[in-house]
Chains A and B, each alone.
Chain A
Protein backbone atom coordinates (compact mmCIF):
# COMPACT_ATOMS: atom_id res chain seq x y z
CA UNK A 1 0.00 0.00 0.00
CA UNK A 2 1.29 3.43 -0.85
CA UNK A 3 1.33 6.52 1.33
CA UNK A 4 -2.21 7.81 1.97
CA UNK A 5 -3.09 10.99 0.19
CA UNK A 6 -3.96 12.86 3.37
CA UNK A 7 -0.30 12.78 4.43
CA UNK A 8 0.71 14.54 1.23
CA UNK A 9 -2.11 17.03 1.61
CA UNK A 10 -1.08 17.80 5.17
CA UNK A 11 2.55 18.24 4.14
CA UNK A 12 1.54 20.53 1.29
CA UNK A 13 -0.66 22.56 3.61
CA UNK A 14 2.21 22.99 6.07
CA UNK A 15 4.55 24.11 3.28
CA UNK A 16 1.90 26.55 2.06
CA UNK A 17 1.52 27.95 5.57
CA UNK A 18 5.26 28.43 5.88
CA UNK A 19 5.32 30.25 2.55
CA UNK A 20 2.49 32.54 3.63
CA UNK A 21 4.20 33.18 6.96
CA UNK A 22 7.44 34.08 5.18
CA UNK A 23 5.56 36.42 2.87
CA UNK A 24 4.14 38.23 5.89
CA UNK A 25 7.29 38.27 7.99
CA UNK A 26 10.13 38.98 5.59
CA UNK A 27 10.95 42.45 4.25
CA UNK A 28 13.26 41.64 1.37
CA UNK A 29 11.24 41.62 -1.84
CA UNK A 30 13.33 38.80 -3.32
CA UNK A 31 12.74 36.54 -0.33
CA UNK A 32 9.03 37.38 -0.42
CA UNK A 33 9.07 36.30 -4.04
CA UNK A 34 10.71 33.00 -3.07
CA UNK A 35 7.95 32.48 -0.51
CA UNK A 36 5.40 32.88 -3.30
CA UNK A 37 7.23 30.13 -5.18
CA UNK A 38 7.03 28.02 -2.04
CA UNK A 39 3.27 28.44 -1.92
CA UNK A 40 2.95 27.61 -5.61
CA UNK A 41 4.89 24.40 -5.03
CA UNK A 42 2.68 23.42 -2.12
CA UNK A 43 -0.36 23.85 -4.34
CA UNK A 44 1.35 21.80 -7.06
CA UNK A 45 1.91 18.99 -4.58
CA UNK A 46 -1.76 19.16 -3.60
CA UNK A 47 -2.84 18.97 -7.25
CA UNK A 48 -0.62 15.96 -7.96
CA UNK A 49 -1.93 14.25 -4.83
CA UNK A 50 -5.55 14.78 -5.84
CA UNK A 51 -4.65 13.63 -9.34
CA UNK A 52 -3.42 10.36 -7.87
CA UNK A 53 -6.31 9.99 -5.42
CA UNK A 54 -8.94 10.53 -8.10
CA UNK A 55 -7.11 8.66 -10.84
CA UNK A 56 -7.37 11.68 -13.12
CA UNK A 57 -4.61 13.21 -15.22
CA UNK A 58 -6.27 16.66 -15.15
CA UNK A 59 -4.52 17.63 -11.93
CA UNK A 60 -1.11 17.00 -13.47
CA UNK A 61 -2.07 19.05 -16.53
CA UNK A 62 -2.97 21.89 -14.20
CA UNK A 63 0.44 21.59 -12.52
CA UNK A 64 2.00 21.84 -15.97
CA UNK A 65 0.21 25.13 -16.60
CA UNK A 66 1.09 26.40 -13.12
CA UNK A 67 4.76 25.79 -13.97
CA UNK A 68 4.45 27.84 -17.16
CA UNK A 69 2.64 30.68 -15.41
CA UNK A 70 5.19 30.63 -12.56
CA UNK A 71 8.04 30.94 -15.05
CA UNK A 72 6.37 33.92 -16.73
CA UNK A 73 5.58 35.46 -13.36
CA UNK A 74 9.18 35.15 -12.16
CA UNK A 75 10.53 36.74 -15.34
CA UNK A 76 8.24 39.76 -15.11
CA UNK A 77 8.49 40.04 -11.32
CA UNK A 78 12.27 40.01 -11.29
CA UNK A 79 12.24 42.58 -14.10
CA UNK A 80 10.07 44.81 -11.94
CA UNK A 81 12.38 44.30 -8.94
CA UNK A 82 15.44 45.20 -11.03
CA UNK A 83 13.78 48.35 -12.34
CA UNK A 84 12.72 49.33 -8.79
CA UNK A 85 16.28 48.77 -7.61
CA UNK A 86 17.58 51.06 -10.34
CA UNK A 87 15.45 53.90 -9.03
CA UNK A 88 15.67 53.38 -5.29
CA UNK A 89 18.83 51.32 -4.64
CA UNK A 90 17.16 48.97 -2.18
CA UNK A 91 14.53 46.26 -2.40
CA UNK A 92 12.91 46.47 1.01
CA UNK A 93 9.14 46.27 0.77
CA UNK A 94 8.50 48.88 3.48
CA UNK A 95 10.35 51.59 1.57
CA UNK A 96 7.95 51.29 -1.36
CA UNK A 97 5.17 53.35 0.22
CA UNK A 98 4.80 55.99 -2.48
CA UNK A 99 1.08 55.26 -2.90
CA UNK A 100 0.38 55.39 0.82
CA UNK A 101 -2.19 58.10 1.63
Chain B
Protein backbone atom coordinates (compact mmCIF):
# COMPACT_ATOMS: atom_id res chain seq x y z
CA UNK B 1 0.00 0.00 0.00
CA UNK B 2 2.70 2.43 0.98
CA UNK B 3 4.76 1.34 -2.01
CA UNK B 4 1.84 2.11 -4.31
CA UNK B 5 1.44 5.55 -2.76
CA UNK B 6 5.17 6.12 -3.13
CA UNK B 7 5.09 5.26 -6.81
CA UNK B 8 2.28 7.71 -7.46
CA UNK B 9 4.00 10.55 -5.63
CA UNK B 10 7.32 10.21 -7.49
CA UNK B 11 7.63 12.40 -10.55
CA UNK B 12 7.45 10.27 -13.67
CA UNK B 13 10.69 11.48 -15.36
CA UNK B 14 12.64 10.79 -12.18
CA UNK B 15 11.17 7.33 -11.93
CA UNK B 16 11.95 6.46 -15.55
CA UNK B 17 15.48 7.82 -15.26
CA UNK B 18 16.14 5.81 -12.14
CA UNK B 19 14.71 2.60 -13.55
CA UNK B 20 16.52 2.79 -16.89
CA UNK B 21 19.86 3.90 -15.44
CA UNK B 22 19.61 1.39 -12.63
CA UNK B 23 18.81 -1.47 -15.00
CA UNK B 24 21.66 -0.43 -17.30
CA UNK B 25 24.04 -0.33 -14.32
CA UNK B 26 22.97 -3.80 -13.21
CA UNK B 27 23.21 -5.24 -16.72
CA UNK B 28 26.66 -3.71 -17.11
CA UNK B 29 27.80 -5.12 -13.77
CA UNK B 30 26.52 -8.54 -14.75
CA UNK B 31 28.30 -8.23 -18.08
CA UNK B 32 31.61 -7.44 -16.38
CA UNK B 33 31.32 -10.65 -14.40
CA UNK B 34 29.95 -12.91 -17.11
CA UNK B 35 31.79 -11.80 -20.27
CA UNK B 36 34.46 -14.30 -21.28
CA UNK B 37 36.43 -11.73 -23.23
CA UNK B 38 38.12 -9.02 -21.11
CA UNK B 39 37.41 -6.44 -23.84
CA UNK B 40 33.69 -7.09 -23.47
CA UNK B 41 34.07 -6.78 -19.71
CA UNK B 42 35.69 -3.37 -20.16
CA UNK B 43 32.89 -2.19 -22.47
CA UNK B 44 30.26 -3.41 -19.99
CA UNK B 45 32.14 -1.51 -17.29
CA UNK B 46 31.75 1.65 -19.40
CA UNK B 47 28.00 1.04 -19.45
CA UNK B 48 27.84 0.75 -15.67
CA UNK B 49 30.01 3.84 -15.17
CA UNK B 50 27.84 5.88 -17.51
CA UNK B 51 24.67 4.74 -15.75
CA UNK B 52 26.14 5.71 -12.40
CA UNK B 53 26.95 9.12 -13.90
CA UNK B 54 23.29 9.45 -14.90
CA UNK B 55 22.29 8.60 -11.34
CA UNK B 56 24.72 11.27 -10.11
CA UNK B 57 22.97 13.85 -12.28
CA UNK B 58 19.65 12.64 -10.96
CA UNK B 59 20.92 13.38 -7.45
CA UNK B 60 22.16 16.91 -8.24
CA UNK B 61 25.85 15.98 -8.35
CA UNK B 62 26.53 17.36 -11.81
CA UNK B 63 30.23 17.96 -11.40
CA UNK B 64 30.85 14.44 -10.17
CA UNK B 65 28.85 13.06 -13.09
CA UNK B 66 31.07 14.95 -15.52
CA UNK B 67 34.22 13.80 -13.73
CA UNK B 68 32.90 10.26 -13.65
CA UNK B 69 32.49 10.21 -17.44
CA UNK B 70 35.79 11.98 -18.14
CA UNK B 71 38.03 10.19 -15.65
CA UNK B 72 36.46 6.77 -15.37
CA UNK B 73 34.95 6.11 -18.78
CA UNK B 74 37.42 8.31 -20.60
CA UNK B 75 40.72 7.57 -18.92
CA UNK B 76 40.59 4.51 -16.70
CA UNK B 77 38.72 2.20 -19.05
CA UNK B 78 40.88 3.32 -21.96
CA UNK B 79 43.90 2.43 -19.82
CA UNK B 80 42.36 -0.99 -19.20
CA UNK B 81 41.81 -1.47 -22.93
CA UNK B 82 45.37 -0.40 -23.66
CA UNK B 83 46.71 -3.01 -21.27
CA UNK B 84 44.39 -5.70 -22.63
CA UNK B 85 45.53 -4.99 -26.17
CA UNK B 86 49.17 -4.66 -25.11
CA UNK B 87 49.23 -7.97 -23.28
CA UNK B 88 47.08 -9.76 -25.84
CA UNK B 89 45.04 -11.44 -23.13
CA UNK B 90 41.76 -11.01 -24.99
CA UNK B 91 41.21 -14.75 -25.09
CA UNK B 92 39.15 -17.10 -22.99
CA UNK B 93 40.44 -17.80 -19.53
CA UNK B 94 41.38 -21.30 -18.57
CA UNK B 95 38.97 -22.57 -15.93
CA UNK B 96 39.54 -26.30 -16.13
CA UNK B 97 42.35 -26.35 -13.60
CA UNK B 98 40.90 -25.01 -10.37
CA UNK B 99 43.12 -25.10 -7.28
CA UNK B 100 40.26 -24.15 -4.97
CA UNK B 101 37.27 -26.16 -6.19
CA UNK B 102 34.90 -24.87 -3.52
CA UNK B 103 35.62 -21.21 -4.14
CA UNK B 104 33.10 -20.50 -6.88
CA UNK B 105 30.07 -22.17 -5.23
CA UNK B 106 30.98 -20.55 -1.91
CA UNK B 107 31.26 -17.16 -3.62
CA UNK B 108 27.80 -17.54 -5.17
CA UNK B 109 26.34 -18.62 -1.80
CA UNK B 110 27.97 -15.64 -0.08
CA UNK B 111 26.61 -13.25 -2.71
CA UNK B 112 23.09 -14.66 -2.32
CA UNK B 113 23.34 -14.28 1.46
CA UNK B 114 24.46 -10.67 1.09
CA UNK B 115 21.59 -9.94 -1.30
CA UNK B 116 19.10 -11.47 1.16
CA UNK B 117 20.57 -9.32 3.90
CA UNK B 118 20.24 -6.23 1.70
CA UNK B 119 16.63 -7.16 1.03
CA UNK B 120 15.96 -7.38 4.75
CA UNK B 121 17.66 -4.04 5.30
CA UNK B 122 15.76 -2.37 2.49
CA UNK B 123 12.46 -3.24 4.16
CA UNK B 124 13.42 -1.21 7.22
CA UNK B 125 14.61 2.36 7.64
CA UNK B 126 18.18 3.20 6.76
CA UNK B 127 19.96 4.94 9.58
CA UNK B 128 21.23 8.25 8.28
CA UNK B 129 22.48 9.95 11.43
CA UNK B 130 22.74 13.67 11.94
CA UNK B 131 23.54 16.14 9.17
CA UNK B 132 27.14 17.27 9.30
CA UNK B 133 28.32 20.84 8.97
CA UNK B 134 30.65 20.83 5.97
CA UNK B 135 28.19 22.71 3.80
CA UNK B 136 24.88 22.33 2.03
CA UNK B 137 24.59 20.44 -1.24
CA UNK B 138 22.62 23.26 -2.80
CA UNK B 139 22.66 26.25 -0.50
CA UNK B 140 21.40 28.64 -3.13
CA UNK B 141 24.55 28.08 -5.16
CA UNK B 142 25.29 25.64 -7.92
CA UNK B 143 26.73 22.24 -7.16
CA UNK B 144 30.19 23.18 -8.46
CA UNK B 145 30.39 26.29 -6.28
CA UNK B 146 29.49 24.37 -3.13
CA UNK B 147 31.88 21.53 -3.99
CA UNK B 148 34.73 23.92 -4.76
CA UNK B 149 34.15 25.84 -1.54
CA UNK B 150 34.32 22.62 0.49
CA UNK B 151 37.37 21.29 -1.37
CA UNK B 152 39.37 24.51 -1.15
CA UNK B 153 38.51 25.43 2.44
CA UNK B 154 37.62 22.49 4.66
CA UNK B 155 39.43 19.82 2.66
CA UNK B 156 42.38 21.86 1.44
CA UNK B 157 45.02 19.67 3.08
CA UNK B 158 43.65 16.37 1.68
CA UNK B 159 43.33 18.06 -1.70
CA UNK B 160 47.00 19.02 -1.66
CA UNK B 161 47.88 15.54 -0.46
CA UNK B 162 46.19 14.04 -3.51
CA UNK B 163 48.62 15.93 -5.73
CA UNK B 164 51.49 14.22 -3.92
CA UNK B 165 49.64 10.93 -4.33
CA UNK B 166 49.30 11.46 -8.08
CA UNK B 167 52.99 12.31 -8.45
CA UNK B 168 53.91 9.18 -6.50
CA UNK B 169 51.59 7.09 -8.68
CA UNK B 170 53.21 8.46 -11.85
CA UNK B 171 56.67 7.72 -10.47
CA UNK B 172 55.55 4.22 -9.51
CA UNK B 173 54.18 3.59 -12.97
CA UNK B 174 57.44 4.74 -14.54
CA UNK B 175 59.51 2.58 -12.19
CA UNK B 176 57.32 -0.45 -12.86
CA UNK B 177 57.26 0.06 -16.61
CA UNK B 178 60.92 0.65 -17.32
CA UNK B 179 62.99 -2.44 -17.76
CA UNK B 180 66.25 -2.26 -15.85
CA UNK B 181 69.25 -3.85 -17.53
CA UNK B 182 70.03 -6.78 -15.26
CA UNK B 183 73.23 -8.83 -15.65
CA UNK B 184 71.25 -11.77 -17.10
CA UNK B 185 69.78 -9.46 -19.75
CA UNK B 186 73.26 -8.29 -20.72
CA UNK B 187 74.55 -11.86 -20.89
CA UNK B 188 71.62 -13.01 -23.02
CA UNK B 189 72.07 -10.00 -25.29
CA UNK B 190 75.74 -10.82 -25.69
CA UNK B 191 74.83 -14.44 -26.44
CA UNK B 192 72.37 -13.48 -29.16
CA UNK B 193 74.83 -11.07 -30.68
CA UNK B 194 77.59 -13.66 -30.75
CA UNK B 195 75.22 -16.24 -32.23
CA UNK B 196 74.27 -13.67 -34.88
CA UNK B 197 77.91 -13.27 -35.70
CA UNK B 198 78.24 -17.03 -35.95
CA UNK B 199 75.20 -17.24 -38.22
CA UNK B 200 76.57 -14.49 -40.39
CA UNK B 201 79.84 -16.35 -40.60
CA UNK B 202 78.42 -19.69 -41.74
CA UNK B 203 75.10 -19.01 -43.49
CA UNK B 204 74.35 -17.24 -46.73
CA UNK B 205 73.91 -13.42 -46.68
CA UNK B 206 70.10 -13.37 -47.16
CA UNK B 207 69.48 -15.53 -44.10
CA UNK B 208 71.91 -13.60 -41.92
CA UNK B 209 70.32 -10.23 -42.79
CA UNK B 210 66.91 -11.69 -41.95
CA UNK B 211 68.21 -12.84 -38.58
CA UNK B 212 69.76 -9.47 -37.93
CA UNK B 213 66.43 -7.76 -38.51
CA UNK B 214 64.68 -10.08 -36.12
CA UNK B 215 67.19 -9.50 -33.37
CA UNK B 216 66.87 -5.76 -33.74
CA UNK B 217 63.11 -5.80 -33.27
Contact = CB atoms under 8 A, between A and B. Distances in A.
Given A17-B115, A52-B137, A56-B135, A79 B122 contact: no
Q: Which of B137, B150, B170 has the most CB of A within 10 A?
A: B137
Contacts of A6: 122, 125-126
Contacts of A41: 48-49, 52, 72
Contact of B115 (A7, A14, A68, A85): A14
Interface footprint category on A: 35 or more
B176 to A, nearest CB: 4
Interface string A80-91: 111101100011
B84 A30 contact: yes
Contacts of A92: 93-94
Nearest to A78: B83
Interface footprint category on B: 35 or more
B173 A79 contact: yes
Contact of A61 (B29, B60, B107, B150): B150
Interface string A56-72: 11101101110111111
A21 to B, nearest CB: 4
Contacts, number: 251
Interface majority SS (helix, strand, loop, mixed), chain B: helix
B32 A68 contact: no
A4 B6 contact: yes
Contact of A51 (B10, B29, B58, B137): B137
B10 A1 contact: yes
12 contacts: A3-B14, A13-B114, A14-B115, A25-B108, A31-B93, A34-B45, A35-B32, A52-B60, A58-B135, A68-B166, A70-B76, A78-B173
Given A28-B89, A90-B89, 11 more contacts: A3-B18, A17-B114, A18-B33, A19-B32, A28-B93, A30-B84, A31-B38, A64-B147, A65-B158, A65-B159, A67-B71
